[in-house]
Amino acid sequence: MTFNIADLFESLADAVPDRLALVCGDAELSFSELDRRATRLARYWRSQGIKAGDHIGLYLFNRTEYLECMLAAFKLRAVSINVNYRYVADELLYVCENAGVSGLVYEAELADEVAEAGISVPVMMTPGPAYEAALEGAGEERDFEARSNDDLFIIYTGGTTGMPRGVMWRHEDIFFAALQGGNPGGDPHPSPEAVAQAAAKYGQGLNVHPAAPLIHGSAQLATWIALLNGGTSCLVKGRHFDAEQSLDLVAKYDVSCINVVGDAMARPIAERIEASPERWDLSGLDAVASAGAILSGEVREKLEELLPGAMVLNNFGASETGHQGTAFYEDGEAIWIMDEEHTRVVDEDLEPIEPGSGIIGRLARFGHIPLGYYGDEEKTARTFFSKGDVRYVIPGDMATVAEDGTVVFLGRGSGCINTGGEKVFPEEVEEVLKTFPAVFDAVVVGVPDERWGQKVAALVQKRPNKELDLNDLEAFCRTHIAGYKLPRAVHVLPDLHRHPSGKPDYKWAKAKALALS
């Protein structure tokens, strides 16, 4: 047995077969039921030619089939690829081609996008009667080849420097870096067998509600943390976040931890609790943890007031690093507690920053880290570095080290816009805007937004002698980029300031956008 997620899950299904593993809307699956359905699906895929190393795209809303597909892929030593269901045809085609998918499981509701993108791969399925018939005829025997710690778990992320890219983790590395912290049952040096042994010994594990959809790495990781602890992942079904449904799940299934993505999810949850304080029994809730976007002080304080028995945490990390730290608060000030065993703040020469020096460096993780970006050696070389016999991943987060050795997190050092946990790369939106016939130039920045943390704002220069209709511009953009990437504020200016090199002056643009907001 290895630290392979399929191996680990099968051991849990054998150790705690009747324990509830997955809830999605009204659907419930025990560990044994989820394992049997994933086994049947894996056997069906194998009969259709899917083999070790193949990639299966998941263009799905939240549903139990999402986890069945992930687990089925792992059973075959294949890889699931998360595809954002908000993507339009161009973006869908890009991810499927970039990932080299051999199969695609997609929502019937998204069939038009699949057809428009021209996706044609050996295995194409939609959840429904045909999917169920495929499982029914496949059998339940686990007659799969031996798996490896080196099998891949790929998370496609919007990142901060371009189009979505696949972060390649070995199963063993993601287990230790992002799924359980490497100490099931409190054992700092566990064996793979310890995962199921701990789940059986300590009873019901951690029940988690990932409020974000499974297309996001943070929700996938939260789900697998719950499952590999012998607990339950509780999901809202469908494509939309709904604070009331989230709270219904938390109360019904005695959820210990809600995972949110910043204010976009935490604020509506706080508002619903405040409006109906007696509606939900949340006494079992131990933590509300934000990952993927920072909670504002206002929302954090409101949650602390409404949920006095729960910790409210800003968790820190990235698809490339796994969990790196957590912010606790004293007198309103954030104290970042980093995973010092695997995290350093380094300078441009990859040398550790001296405490108290005032030098701003970059957060680097070492030890269990990804292999790189799938099919992109150039981006891998810009993010993964070696110094002597130590290999680092450095996604671009800036920090310094206080005199007492405390890491002071400063934020992402790029122009990436984080809107409700969705990452938007400004140049991608700019490129679409500049292809509109009436637009001569465009610069895109993020500006503060009460609900979403940031919103996309565009500064646009129109072409001479052309009329620019903003409604037409929005309709045009909707055919090229996902809805969350659309500019929520468009300011038409006579000219846009650029650096002498021709590069956009984002500092000027942000100040201008803020002044016009």
> pLDDT per residue over 448-492, tens digit each?
988 888 999 999 999 888 899 999 999 999 998 999 999 999 999
Rg, C-alpha atoms of the chain: 23
**CB hemisphere CA count around 238 (13 angstroms):** 8
Q: What is the pLDDT of residues 394-444, one digit of tens each?
A: 987 777 888 887 777 766 555 778 888 887 878 788 878 988 989 988 999
Q: How far is 444 from 426, CA to CA, in rounded Å?
A: 5
Q: How far is 297 from 279, CA to CA, in rounded Å?
A: 25
- Is the pLDDT at 343 greater than 90, yes or no? no
Q: How far is 68 from 64, CA to CA, in rounded Å?
A: 6
Share of the chain above pLDDT 70, in %: 93
- Is the pLDDT at 501 greater than 60, yes or no? no
Q: What pLDDT score was predicted for residue 333? A: 62
Average predicted confidence (pLDDT) for the chain: 89
Q: What is the pLDDT of residues 208-239, one digit of tens each?
A: 999 999 998 889 999 999 999 999 999 999 99
Average pLDDT over residues 232-259: 95
- Is the pLDDT at 328 greater than 80, yes or no? no
Domains, the chain: 5-19+28-188 (3.40.50.12780), 342-412 (2.30.38.10), 417-516 (3.30.300.30)
Q: What pLDDT score was predicted for residue 161? A: 44
Average pLDDT over residues 256-283: 91
- Of the listed ranges 168-172, 261-265, 502-506, the least confidently predicted one is 502-506
Position 293 confidence tier, pLDDT thresholds 50, 70, 90: low
What does pTM read for this prediction?
0.84
Q: What is the pLDDT of residues 37-72, one digit of tens each?
A: 999 999 999 999 999 999 999 999 999 999 999 999
Q: What is the pLDDT of residues 158-205, one digit of tens each?
A: 754 457 899 999 999 999 999 875 566 666 677 899 889 988 887 777
Residues in the chain: 517
Angle, helices 129-136 vs 31-47, to 10°: value is 90
In which residue are the tokens 């206002």 written? 298
Q: What pLDDT score was predicted for residue 337? A: 73
Question: CA 225, 230, 234: angle at the middle one, nearest 5?
Answer: 65
- Could you tell me which residue, 181 or 150, shows the higher pLDDT? 150
Q: What pLDDT score was predicted for residue 410? A: 66
Q: How far is 257 from 166, CA to CA, in rounded Å?
A: 27
Q: What is the pLDDT of residues 78-112, one digit of tens each?
A: 999 999 998 999 999 999 999 999 999 999 999 99
Q: Which residues pair with 301 in a beta bridge?
A: none
- Could you tell me which residue, 206 or 281, shows the higher pLDDT? 281
Dihedral angle of Cα 254, 255, 256, 258, to the nearest 10 degrees: -150
Q: What pLDDT score was predicted for residue 441? A: 86
Q: What pLDDT score was predicted for residue 458? A: 96
Nearest to 246 by CA among 225, 267, 217: 267
Give 469-473's long-range contacts (Cβ < 8 A, gap of 24+).
Answer: 469/438, 472/436, 472/438, 473/433, 473/436, 473/438, 473/439
Q: What pLDDT score was predicted for residue 168? A: 98
Q: What pLDDT score was predicted for residue 500? A: 46
Q: How far is 203 from 480, CA to CA, in rounded Å?
A: 49
Amino acid at 424: V
Q: What pLDDT score was predicted for residue 368? A: 92
